Amino acid sequence: MGEAERMTPESLAELARGLGPAKLAEAADFIEWLRAKQERELNAESIAWLGAADPLEPYEWGGVDPMTLGEPVKFIDGVGAVVENA
């Protein structure tokens, strides 16, 4: 397994502890750039999927009613998605 596969937010924070203020600011700028890049890539993928010329075939659920699966979820502003019966 390569270094990237073993990297966690905690191990990244440990690496950052050894940086001086200027290099720490550079690292923070780079992380923000990566986040923005990831968001652009996800948005581009979503736009391509949503704008596909041929609509996707509906998922075949077989004999299962998908509306009976799982638990109800609601969105609370400032909190996010919340499973009601968790």
Q: pTM of the predicted model, to two decimals?
A: 0.44
Please report the pLDDT score of residue 41 as a whole number: 83
Per-residue pLDDT reduced to its tens digit, 34-83: 989 888 887 877 877 777 777 777 778 888 888 888 888 888 888 889 99
Residue type, position 84, single letter: E
CA distance 10 to 52: 39
